[in-house]
């Protein structure tokens, strides 16, 4: 098994800035919130694979620039909510995951997933 060494202080600063920018982006891109949440857990013990995963998310975002939240002009004002939880579902910490999403007509309004 290959040993993965911790990164330098400048790499850590780059990773922190990148995660901070991705956190800001989750305001309009709700689909990124869980991945960015996982990235933020590794700020204090950063490794090269964490930084590469964050860069992969940025590459993914470059490929889907025109996509995002869509609010149709002719949708109904029916509000629907869904929730889900599990027991010990996180492979990293063995903590429970809970999430919910709320739909206004056919458009996703808020969505959240947390441990």
> Which pLDDT score, from 0 to 100, does residue 72 have?
64
Number of Cβ within 10 Å of residue 37's Cβ equals 17
Evaluate the CA torsion angle 35, 112, 86, 80 in order and state its sign: negative
Chain Cα centroid distance, residue 44? 18
Beta bridge partners of 103: 80, 108
| 43 token code pair | 């700020």
pLDDT tens, residue by residue, 16-39:
898 888 888 877 777 777 788 888
> Which pLDDT score, from 0 to 100, does residue 1 have?
46
> Which pLDDT score, from 0 to 100, does residue 12 have?
83
| 41 token code pair | 């857990």
**Residue carrying structure tokens 């919910």:** 100
């Amino acid at each position: 098994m290959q040993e993965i060494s911790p990164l330098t202080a400048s790499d850590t600063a780059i990773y922190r800035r990148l995660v901070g920018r991705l956190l800001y982006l989750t305001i309009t891109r709700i689909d990124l919130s869980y991945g960015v949440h996982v990235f933020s857990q590794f700020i204090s013990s950063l490794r090269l694979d964490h930084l590469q995963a964050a860069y992969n998310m940025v590459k993914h975002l470059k490929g889907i620039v025109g996509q995002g939240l869509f609010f149709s002009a002719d949708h109904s004002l029916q509000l629907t909510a869904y929730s889900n939880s599990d027991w010990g579902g996180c492979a990293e910490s063995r903590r429970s995951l809970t999430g919910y999403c709320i739909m206004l007509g056919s458009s996703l309004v808020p969505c959240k997933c947390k441990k």
